[in-house]
Amino acid sequence: MASSAAVGARHSSGLRALSPSRATDFKTCPRLFRYKVVDRLPVPPTPAQARGTTAHLALERLFDLPAAERTPARLYDLFRRAWMELRDRRFPELFDSVDDERAWGTGALELLANYFSVEDPAAIEPIHREFDVTRSLGRMRIRGIMDRVDETDGNIVIVDYKTGKPPAPRFAASAFFASKVYALLYRAETGRTPTALRLVYLAGPAVLELPVDDRMLAATRRQLEALWTAIERALTRNEFPPRPGPLCGWCPFLGICPAVEDPTAASTGRADAMTPEVT
């Protein structure tokens, strides 16, 4: 799953590597970043995360099959098998009952059915899947995992699957942040500049696309450098101020965060338009 690459940080000697996910955490709320990366507090798994992880694995394996066999039925089967592999190892005791788990599975299969209305997997031959790249960019060390990379007539497209809803229009630009970082990494790794970025939202369903150019990549690099500097400063000073906002309702640390006086009100006041993406 592309946007969940690990990041390491050492309090005493600075940042080792940064992924788009953790960069986004810091942008959203430095305290959230501290809880995850510095304090390494456990984050309880959720059904949405389990669905995203399992769906990504099934979609990755779909392209192991011959083109003619990339059908909805085979994808559902891959999802069931992936869940059997992941359930006890990654998501033990996630559901209170068999009925809850069954309802979750039914919802996940309905989501996967949407995939075929936005892409025809029989017509796609990816050149990479789960493409894991770590590169030094100047003084930074950046890691990203691309769900899929396609090449058609010399045009390279980096594809990211999303099992959450597509963003409201005003958040669409920021939805591409991780993919822009992947494009930077892809160019550093291969010497080739991707042509476009594609976000495939299974809930919706919807596809968002953005062409890539050098100006965009230069701006993304500047943004990463500013974040890298800010994170290193925060690590040196041990200053990670909380930044309360609409996303607190989904924060796994809501119950311990000193900035939120009423965690119950925050968790029930979630705004749909701000639904965080589960990749």
Q: Which residues bind ligand SF4 (CB under 6 A)?
A: 29, 31-32, 242-244, 247-248, 251, 253-254, 257, 259-260
On the CB side of 53, how many CA atoms lie within 13 Å of its CA?
A: 17
Residue spans of beta strands (DSSP E) within 84-175: 128-137, 140-152, 155-162
Q: Which is nearer to ligand SF4, 55 or 251 (CB)?
A: 251
Contact criterion met (CB below 8 Å) for 112 and 55: yes
Measure the CA–CA gap between 52 and 54, rounded to whole angstroms.
Answer: 6
- As measured in angstroms, the least distance from the Cβ of 247 to ligand SF4 is 6
Cβ partners under 8 Å of residue 36, min gap 6: 22, 25, 43
Q: Which is nearer to ligand SF4, 31 or 56 (CB)?
A: 31
Q: Which of 64, 67, 66 is nearest to 81 (CA)?
A: 64
- As measured in angstroms, the least distance from the Cβ of 82 to ligand SF4 is 30
Token digits for 12? Answer: 């005493």
Q: Which is nearer to ligand SF4, 26 or 79 (CB)?
A: 26
Name residue 64's amino acid.
D
Q: Which is nearer to ligand SF4, 205 or 242 (CB)?
A: 242
**Distance from the Cα of residue 48 to its chain's centroid:** 12
Cβ partners under 8 Å of residue 145, min gap 6: 1, 2, 3, 4, 5, 130, 131, 132, 133
Measure the CA–CA gap between 150 and 122, rounded to whole angstroms.
Answer: 13
- As measured in angstroms, the least distance from the Cβ of 123 to ligand SF4 is 41
- As measured in angstroms, the least distance from the Cβ of 114 to ligand SF4 is 30
- As measured in angstroms, the least distance from the Cβ of 98 to ligand SF4 is 33
- As measured in angstroms, the least distance from the Cβ of 276 to ligand SF4 is 10
Contact criterion met (CB below 8 Å) for 144 and 185: yes
Measure the CA–CA gap between 146 and 5, rounded to whole angstroms.
Answer: 10
Q: Which is nearer to ligand SF4, 15 or 251 (CB)?
A: 251
Q: Which is nearer to ligand SF4, 112 or 251 (CB)?
A: 251
